[in-house]
Chain A
Amino acid sequence: MRIRMRFTKLGKVRFTSHRDVARMWERAVRRVGLPVSYSEGFSPRAKLHFGLALSTGHESTAEYLDLDLDVPEDDGGSRPSPHVAALPALLTPALPVGVDAMAAAAVPSGTPSLQQAVTSCTWRISVSGAEPPEIASAIGRAMAAQTLMLTRTRKSTEVTDDVRPYLLDLTAVAPTDTGTEFVAHLATQPRGLRISELLTVLDGGLIEDRVVRTHQWTLHDGARREPLPLDATSASHAEKRAS
């Protein structure tokens, strides 16, 4: 039985890596004794599948993982099926402060993996070094451009390509204590656009302050949908707790 979980990565724990987060979850499922499936072989590992990596230092209220439980999908009866809705409350205390499990649901077998299914993400980005009007005009220029050529390094080779197709939307400029906050909706396929690359495209002088991934999106017949939706209050509640 496959369970999909949504979780946060907020506060100090944002300085851990994607790999570190994977290991936190492996320990957490062992701590609460969740009947997770294990791989075969000399070195059995818990079957946890993570979505798009989040850069070290970035926060999120929309991280996902799938975990395979060692219980039949229809729950034939010999082992009690874990109460899926209770999983977040069970797992959160076993995870570090700032990593809160927010939602869980069973996903039918054959559901595409998170890596395949997610096509875009929404980010809340604070920068210093520019006032809201400057950012607003930079956003306007970028969205109006036909192409935005950018040279970047991928797997240690330099690639120049048009990154304009990744900019689905850039909006909501507001002042912060040190600069400006805006929201970016960025495509993740085929190779994605990093926040640092977005800032280069907008204006070379911007300094990244705080970056929060607020949503990951999948497409269903042209409609945007979250893998597991969350009501807005619980996300902001989690942010307060971690700060």
Chain B
Amino acid sequence: MTLWPQLEPLLAKVQKPARYIGCEDGSQTPEHHRSKVAWLLAYPDTYEIGLPNQGLQILYEILNERTDAVAERTYAPWFDMEALLRQHGLPLFSVDTHRSASDFDVLAFNLSAELVYTNVLNMIDLAGIPVRAAERGLRHPLVGAGGHCTYNPEPLADFLDFVVLGDGEEVVSDITEVLVAWKSADRHAGSREQVLRTLASLPGVYVPSMYDVDYEADRLISVAPRFVDVPAQVEKRTISDLADWPYPKHQLVPLTEVVHDRLNVEVFRGCTRGCRFCQAGMITRPVRERPAEQVRSMVQDGLRRTGYDEVALTSLSTADFSGIESVVASTVDDASTPGRVSVSLPSLRVDAFTVGIAGELQKGRRTGLTFAPEAGTWRMRQVINKLIGEDDLYGAVHSAYSQGWRRMKLYFLTGLPTETDEDTRAIAALARRCVEIGREFHKNPSITVSVGGFVPKPFTPFQWFGQNTREELSRKMYLLRDELRRDRGVQFKWHDPKATVVEGIASRGDRRLGPVIEDVWRNGGTFQEWSEFFDLELWTEALQRHGLSLEQYVYRHRTEDEILPWDHISAGLHKDFLWQDWRDALAEVGLEDCRWTPCYDCGACTGYSVEHVVASAVPPAGGSQGTGQDRAKAGEVPVQLLPARATTGASMARAAARSAPL
């Protein structure tokens, strides 16, 4: 039953009421039925931030295509709306048909960032569901979560009934099938636990309540399944071929302005560049490219259907896409929209960014350019395995300025392992040189240097590294600010080290953080992603009240033999591979990209019998790791060419499991 008549009068009283009306092009009004599993897909931040989320939109379509499921969406109501809902005794509601969250069988969150955790609790509470999973009864919806943060689900273990690891495209259907059976059966005492136990046996589904956790002193000593049919280690899900999943087919077009307000087409998933700080690159292996032909048709159909004049080709490193120049060219040269469609490449490696790409991009409307060298010195970039030569950076910047760009943004991390002040200062020198290059072409070129504090993430080689303290990060930020003070043409922006500390707490925390997160939420700490509402003291005081410390969770180096809170989760990566990569990092030894060079057995492909799907056997301009160190070998990379796919007609090459002839 719709709550619209009760909600409508409230909308006149809130900021940005369009957040709550739905009505997007591409939105659905599914018909609920007793026999259908009803999913409420939730993004725990505002509508403007959450609507563009592609993962949520993909699942929305897949579930609504099923005859045994319906899916609607909800986003975190802003403070004013939350107050009105609570004042009028109204629950969290879907934006599609304005139905109460309690009318759904599953409340499923997308977790893309740690600072939204308190919003998750707030939304569960607004839905009329007890925040602690243990207190939920037969009639309460199941509360689940997916997304990158679920690779360490432990801080939220007390609040989530189930957690999905990895690609969601297939597993949502597996879960739906379990729940359809549950819905048709009688509910009785114990049946909720029974369905959770069944879910726990699905690959890719983790049910925190099925595991016992033990500590000795302040150390975690074991996480063990409570039943024999519950896996000791939960493996992530991986779809083998992106070509089978051309979603979203009808990307939602919001009526009001949102972030990334444009058509988004995912060109590949996964990344094997092997940057050691990057969790996304580690947990989404292997590389699975979408056939260029499918990308082209998704772009063309999408632009025609949505009316957008901008398309983003998304991935973790879009310049690495085998068909990049031709896809960009065919989009901006489309005769029906001459010069009016802009293409943005949100994640660019400088070594693969060429004059050719720059030239094609600037034919459309020019979008912002961001490059991410990540570190200031070659030594530091060897440690993090982002092997971009200075010449590659200057070459990319030169290409961009020569093609008419006047400003660009450079993204860096500070607080990296082994970092010295020399490494930090070198960031300033890089920026300065980029501005000088710009002056060859323009009077007032500008470079924005954006610096974030490094937060070590699970399933990366840096998962053992003790994060820099807040004071140390601040010192480095000030050092850099002073260094750049007199540089005209360089703008300096930094991410608040206080927020970096809290990201660090949740990133590698264990179940003992549950009460801390609940404490922060109960004390009003929602929307912690928003700098104006972020409050470090709420967190440090809550930690103290529960006898925990920043030293223990954030600043301390982990040891090799230590049980990590996520050891019972698997992203396919062998722990000894990650440890070896950590040792290599400290020894400043780089590692090549395995999509064009031989396999080093990280475990992600072999463990799941999947493999890279890459159309080009040859790395892009910069060689497999930007150094040119393997440029000479590029043509000889052992890649097997497979016959054309029957379904797409596109000829795809797959870098098969390699026997290295080099």
A residues with a Cβ closer than 8 A to B are 12-13, 15-17, 19-20, 23-24, 26-31, 33, 38, 42-44, 56-57, 94, 96-98, 208
Tell me the minimal C-beta distance from B16 to chain A in angstroms.
8
Q: Mark B274-312, 1 if CB is under 8 A from A, else 0.
A: 000000000000000000000000000001111111000
Tell me the minimal C-beta distance from A164 to chain B in angstroms.
27
Tell me, in angstroms, the Cα distance from A56 to B256 when the chains sit together.
Answer: 12
Give chain A residues whose Cβ lies under 8 Å from the Cβ of B192.
none
Give chain B residues whose Cβ lies under 8 Å from the Cβ of A26.
307, 309
Would A20 and B18 count as touching, CB distance under 8 A? yes
> Of all chain A residues, which has the CB nearest B362?
A42
Q: Mark B406-426, 1 if CB is under 8 A from A, else 0.
A: 000000000000000000000
Identify the interface centre among B21, B304, B308: most chain A CB within 10 Å of its CB. B21
Would A43 and B365 count as touching, CB distance under 8 A? yes
Given A27-B307, A31-B305, A31-B307, also A12-B21 (CB < 8 A): yes
Would B253 and A27 count as touching, CB distance under 8 A? yes
Give chain B residues whose Cβ lies under 8 Å from the Cβ of A17.
18, 256
Give chain A residues whose Cβ lies under 8 Å from the Cβ of B25.
96
> Of all chain A residues, which has the CB nearest B15?
A56
Give chain B residues whose Cβ lies under 8 Å from the Cβ of A38.
340
Give chain B residues whose Cβ lies under 8 Å from the Cβ of A29.
307
Would B23 and A96 count as touching, CB distance under 8 A? yes
Tell me the minimal C-beta distance from B78 to chain A in angstroms.
14
Given A12-B21, A15-B17, A208-B12, also A33-B336 (CB < 8 A): yes
B residues with a Cβ closer than 8 A to A are 11-12, 17-18, 20-23, 25, 253, 255-257, 303-309, 336-337, 339-340, 365-366
Tell me the minimal C-beta distance from A84 to chain B in angstroms.
21
Would B17 and A57 count as touching, CB distance under 8 A? yes
Seed contacts A19-B257, A43-B366; 19 additional CB < 8 Å A-B pairs: A13-B255, A15-B18, A15-B20, A16-B255, A17-B256, A24-B255, A26-B307, A27-B306, A27-B307, A29-B307, A30-B337, A31-B305, A31-B306, A31-B307, A42-B366, A43-B365, A96-B23, A98-B23, A208-B12
* Other-chain residue from A42, A44, A56 in contact with B17 (beta carbon distance below 8 A): A56
Tell me, in angstroms, the Cα distance from A97 to B253 when the chains sit together.
Answer: 13
Tell me, in angstroms, the Cα distance from A94 to B305 when the chains sit together.
Answer: 9
A/B interface sample: 7 pairs, CB < 8 A: A13-B23, A15-B11, A16-B18, A31-B306, A33-B336, A42-B365, A208-B12
Would B307 and A13 count as touching, CB distance under 8 A? no
Query: Sorted from nearest, which 10 A-B pairs have the closest CB atoms?
Result: A27-B307, A15-B17, A31-B307, A30-B307, A12-B21, A16-B18, A16-B255, A20-B256, A15-B18, A15-B21
Tell me, in angstroms, the Cα distance from A33 to B307 when the chains sit together.
Answer: 9
Give chain B residues whose Cβ lies under 8 Å from the Cβ of A15.
11, 17-18, 20-21
Given A15-B17, A57-B17, also A97-B23 (CB < 8 A): yes
Identify the interface centre among A24, A30, A33, A208: most chain B CB within 10 Å of its CB. A30
Would A20 and B365 count as touching, CB distance under 8 A? no
Give chain B residues whose Cβ lies under 8 Å from the Cβ of A44.
339-340, 365
Tell me the minimal C-beta distance from A219 to chain B in angstroms.
33
* Other-chain residue from B22, B257, B305, B337 in contact with A20 (beta carbon distance below 8 A): B257
Would A57 and B12 count as touching, CB distance under 8 A? yes
Give chain A residues whose Cβ lies under 8 Å from the Cβ of B340.
38, 44
Q: How many A-B residue pairs have CB under 8 A?
A: 62
Give chain A residues whose Cβ lies under 8 Å from the Cβ of B306.
27, 31
Give chain B residues whose Cβ lies under 8 Å from the Cβ of A96.
23, 25, 255
Tell me the minimal C-beta distance from B472 to chain A in angstroms.
42
Identify the interface centre among B22, B256, B257: most chain A CB within 10 Å of its CB. B256
Would A57 and B21 count as touching, CB distance under 8 A? no
Tell me the minimal C-beta distance from B72 to chain A in angstroms.
15
Give chain B residues whose Cβ lies under 8 Å from the Cβ of A20.
18, 255-257
Tell me, in angstroms, the Cα distance from A154 to B21 when the chains sit together.
Answer: 29
Tell me the minimal C-beta distance from B84 to chain A in angstroms.
14
> Of all chain B residues, which has the CB nearest A57?
B12
Tell me, in angstroms, the Cα distance from A96 to B253 when the chains sit together.
Answer: 10
Tell me, in angstroms, the Cα distance from A162 to B18 when the chains sit together.
Answer: 34
Would A28 and B21 count as touching, CB distance under 8 A? no
Tell me the minimal C-beta distance from A169 to chain B in angstroms.
26
Give chain A residues whose Cβ lies under 8 Å from the Cβ of B339.
44
Tell me, in angstroms, the Cα distance from A29 to B23 when the chains sit together.
Answer: 19
Tell me the minimal C-beta distance from B446 to chain A in angstroms.
16
Give chain A residues whose Cβ lies under 8 Å from the Cβ of B305.
31
Tell me the minimal C-beta distance from B324 to chain A in angstroms.
23
Tell me, in angstroms, the Cα distance from A57 to B447 when the chains sit together.
Answer: 41
Tell me, in angstroms, the Cα distance from A57 to B20 when the chains sit together.
Answer: 13
Tell me the minimal C-beta distance from B32 to chain A in angstroms.
20
Give chain B residues whose Cβ lies under 8 Å from the Cβ of A30.
303, 307-309, 337
Would B256 and A12 count as touching, CB distance under 8 A? no
Give chain B residues whose Cβ lies under 8 Å from the Cβ of A94.
307
Give chain A residues whose Cβ lies under 8 Å from the Cβ of B307.
26-31, 94
Tell me the minimal C-beta distance from A229 to chain B in angstroms.
28
Would B23 and A12 count as touching, CB distance under 8 A? yes
Give chain A residues whose Cβ lies under 8 Å from the Cβ of B21.
12-13, 15-16
> Of all chain A residues, which has the CB nearest B9?
A209
Tell me, in angstroms, the Cα distance from A96 to B252 when the chains sit together.
Answer: 12
Tell me, in angstroms, the Cα distance from A13 to B256 when the chains sit together.
Answer: 10
> Of all chain B residues, which has the CB nearest A27?
B307
Give chain A residues whose Cβ lies under 8 Å from the Cβ of B365.
42-44
Give chain A residues whose Cβ lies under 8 Å from the Cβ of B17.
15, 56-57
> Of all chain B residues, which has the CB nearest A12?
B21
> Of all chain A residues, which has the CB nearest B24?
A96
> Of all chain B residues, which has the CB nearest A15?
B17
Given A30-B309, A56-B17, A96-B23, also A23-B257 (CB < 8 A): yes
Would B22 and A12 count as touching, CB distance under 8 A? yes
Tell me the minimal C-beta distance from A31 to chain B in angstroms.
4
> Of all chain A residues, which has the CB nearest B261?
A23
Give chain B residues whose Cβ lies under 8 Å from the Cβ of A19.
257
Tell me the minimal C-beta distance from B300 to chain A in angstroms.
13
* Other-chain residue from B253, B256, B308, B337 in contact with A16 (beta carbon distance below 8 A): B256
> Of all chain B residues, which has the CB nearest A42?
B366
Give chain B residues whose Cβ lies under 8 Å from the Cβ of A43.
365-366
Identify the interface centre among A94, A96, A208: most chain B CB within 10 Å of its CB. A96
> Of all chain A residues, which has the CB nearest B8?
A12
Tell me, in angstroms, the Cα distance from A28 to B253 when the chains sit together.
Answer: 11
Give chain A residues whose Cβ lies under 8 Å from the Cβ of B11.
15, 57
Tell me the minimal C-beta distance from B6 to chain A in angstroms.
14
Tell me, in angstroms, the Cα distance from A202 to B505 when the chains sit together.
Answer: 57
> Of all chain B residues, which has the CB nearest A209?
B9
> Of all chain B residues, which has the CB nearest A23?
B257
Give chain A residues whose Cβ lies under 8 Å from the Cβ of B304.
31
Identify the interface centre among A19, A33, A56: most chain B CB within 10 Å of its CB. A56
Tell me, in angstroms, the Cα distance from A38 to B337 when the chains sit together.
Answer: 11
Tell me, in angstroms, the Cα distance from A118 to B22 when the chains sit together.
Answer: 32
* Other-chain residue from A27, A33, A42, A57 in contact with B308 (beta carbon distance below 8 A): A27
Tell me, in angstroms, the Cα distance from A97 to B20 when the chains sit together.
Answer: 15
Tell me, in angstroms, the Cα distance from A23 to B339 when the chains sit together.
Answer: 19
Give chain A residues whose Cβ lies under 8 Å from the Cβ of B253.
27
